[in-house]
C-alpha cells in the first residue's frame, strides 16, 4: 500500500477518532503517517498534535493544506464547512477525505468532485463503514444469493444528543438535524444494499429551531423497499436487517460500526456467523487504506464508494429534506 502522509483539518471528536485509528494501525505495521493538524488556534492544534505525536501543528486551515509534508487532508469540521474546506485542500493539490455527510447537498458534492477531477486528485466520502471488512463480507454474501432476491432493508440510527440550542446538532446554521448527522448511515447503507431508490416518501418531526428532530422514510428500490428512521432525541437499539426471499441477515447493534452479523435461511437456521476483529481499533483506518488504493489505482468499477454513489446519497437526502421542509442556507446556492 502506498504510504500517504495525512493532515487533519479540525481538532474535534471525530478527528480524534480517525487519528487514533490511523496511529494505532501504523503501530501494527500499516503505511499510515499523520504529519500535521490544523485548527483555528495554535493552542488547540498543538494540544492535538502532542496527544498523538504529530510533527506539525498549524494555527490555520490554510497553513495545513500548504504543508509540503502532507499528501492527503481529512476534513473533520461541521458539514456546512465541508465544501469550502475540501475546495481549499484541492486547490493546494491535496487529496481529500471528507467526513460524512460529504456536503450539505448534492450540488455541493458535484462541485467538490468536479474540482478534484480537474486537479487530478482524489476526493473520497468518509462513509467509513462502507470500507470495513464486515461490510465487504456482507456484500459478498448478498451477491452469492444465499438469502435469495432482496426485498427489504430496515435501519435505525437514533441517539439522545445534547439539547442545547447552540449545539451544532440543533442549529440550522450549522446543518443541524437528525438526517445529515445520523440518518446518513441508514440511507448510505440502503444505497449499498439495494441501490439508489426509485421512489421516496419521507416525514419528519421538526424542532422549534426548524431542524429534523426525527425523520423516517419508506423507499422503493426496484423490487425491494427500505424502512429508515433517525432521531436526535432518543436512544434506540440502532439495528439493521436485510430480508430476502430465502433468508435474512440480522446485523448486530449498532449496525453501522464494525461488529458482527448472522445469516439465517428461511427456516431460521444459522447459515453463517461473522464477527469483526479490529484489534482494538474502531475501524476508521480502512477508509485511509481505500484512499491510498485510489491514489495508486484511480477509480475502478468495483470501488466500494464512488463519487457517483456519494452524489446519489446526497440526492436522496435532499429529497427527504424537501419533503420534510428542512432547508439550509447552502440550499439557496443550488441553481
Instruction: Please say if the pLDDT value at position 228 is more than 90.
Output: yes
Catalogue the E-assigned strands of the chain.
4-9, 32-38, 56-58, 72-75, 95-99, 123-126, 150-158, 199-206, 212-221, 224-231, 240-244, 247-251, 260-265, 270-275
- Per-residue pLDDT at 309 exceeds 80: yes
pLDDT reading at 334 higher than 80: no
pLDDT at 280: 87
Asked if domains 4-129 and 133-277+305-333 share a fold, the reply is no
| CA–CA distance, 97 with 72 (Å, rounded to integer) | 7
Predicted confidence (pLDDT) per residue in 103-147, tens digit: 999 999 999 999 999 999 999 999 999 999 999 999 999 999 999
Instruction: Say what percent of the chain tops pLDDT 70.
Output: 99
* Distance from C-alpha of 101 to C-alpha of 188, rounded to nearest angstrom: 10
Give the predicted TM-score (pTM) of the model: 0.96
Superfamily of segment(s) 4-129: NAD(P)-binding Rossmann-like Domain (3.40.50.720)
Axis-axis angle for helices 184-194, 133-144 (nearest 10): 40
Structure-block grid coordinates of residue 279: 484489534
Residues 232 and 172 sit within 8 Å (Cβ to Cβ): no
**Domain 133-277+305-333 CATH superfamily:** Dihydrodipicolinate Reductase; domain 2 (3.30.360.10)
Q: Where are the domains of the chain?
A: 4-129, 133-277+305-333
Average pLDDT of 248-264? 95
Q: What pLDDT, in 10s, does the model give residues 184-207?
A: 999 999 999 999 999 999 999 999
| Mean model confidence pLDDT for the chain | 96
Amino acid at each position: 500500500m502506498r504510504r500517504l502522509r495525512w493532515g487533519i483539518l479540525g481538532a474535534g471528536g471525530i478527528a480524534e477518532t480517525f487519528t487514533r485509528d490511523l496511529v494505532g494501525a501504523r503501530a501494527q505495521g500499516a503505511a499510515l503517517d499523520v504529519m500535521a493538524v490544523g485548527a483555528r488556534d495554535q493552542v488547540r492544534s498543538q494540544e492535538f498534535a502532542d496527544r498523538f505525536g504529530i510533527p506539525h501543528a498549524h494555527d490555520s486551515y490554510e497553513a495545513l493544506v500548504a504543508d509540503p509534508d502532507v499528501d492527503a487532508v481529512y476534513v473533520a469540521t461541521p458539514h456546512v464547512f465541508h465544501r469550502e474546506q475540501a475546495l481549499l485542500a484541492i486547490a493546494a493539490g491535496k487529496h481529500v477525505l471528507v467526513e460524512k455527510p460529504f456536503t450539505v447537498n448534492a450540488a455541493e458534492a458535484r462541485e467538490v468532485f468536479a474540482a478534484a477531477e480537474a486537479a487530478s486528485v482524489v476526493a473520497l466520502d468518509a462513509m467509513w463503514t462502507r470500507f470495513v471488512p464486515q461490510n465487504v463480507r456482507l456484500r459478498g454474501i448478498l451477491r452469492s444469493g444465499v438469502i435469495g432476491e432482496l426485498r427489504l432493508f430496515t435501519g435505525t440510527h437514533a441517539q439522545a444528543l445534547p439539547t442545547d440550542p447552540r449545539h451544532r446538532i440543533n442549529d440550522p446554521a450549522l446543518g443541524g438535524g437528525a438526517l445529515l448527522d445520523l440518518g446518513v448511515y441508514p440511507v448510505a447503507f440502503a444505497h449499498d444494499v439495494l441501490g439508489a431508490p426509485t421512489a421516496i416518501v419521507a416525514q419528519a418531526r421538526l424542532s422549534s429551531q426548524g431542524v429534523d428532530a426525527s425523520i423516517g422514510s419508506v423507499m422503493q428500490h426496484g423490487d425491494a423497499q427500505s424502512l429508515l428512521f433517525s432521531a436526535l432525541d432518543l436512544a434506540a437499539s440502532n439495528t439493521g436487517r436485510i430480508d430476502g426471499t430465502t433468508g435474512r441477515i440480522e446485523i448486530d447493534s449498532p449496525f453501522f460500526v464494525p461488529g458482527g452479523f448472522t445469516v439465517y435461511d428461511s427456516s431460521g437456521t444459522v447459515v453463517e456467523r461473522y464477527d469483526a476483529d479490529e484489534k482494538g481499533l474502531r475501524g476508521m483506518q480502512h477508509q485511509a487504506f481505500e484512499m491510498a488504493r485510489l491514489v495508486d489505482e484511480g477509480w475502478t468499477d468495483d470501488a466500494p464508494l464512488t463519487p457517483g454513489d456519494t452524489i446519489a446519497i446526497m440526492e436522496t437526502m435532499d429529497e427527504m429534506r424537501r419533503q420534510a421542509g428542512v432547508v439550509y442556507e447552502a440550499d439557496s446556492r443550488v441553481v
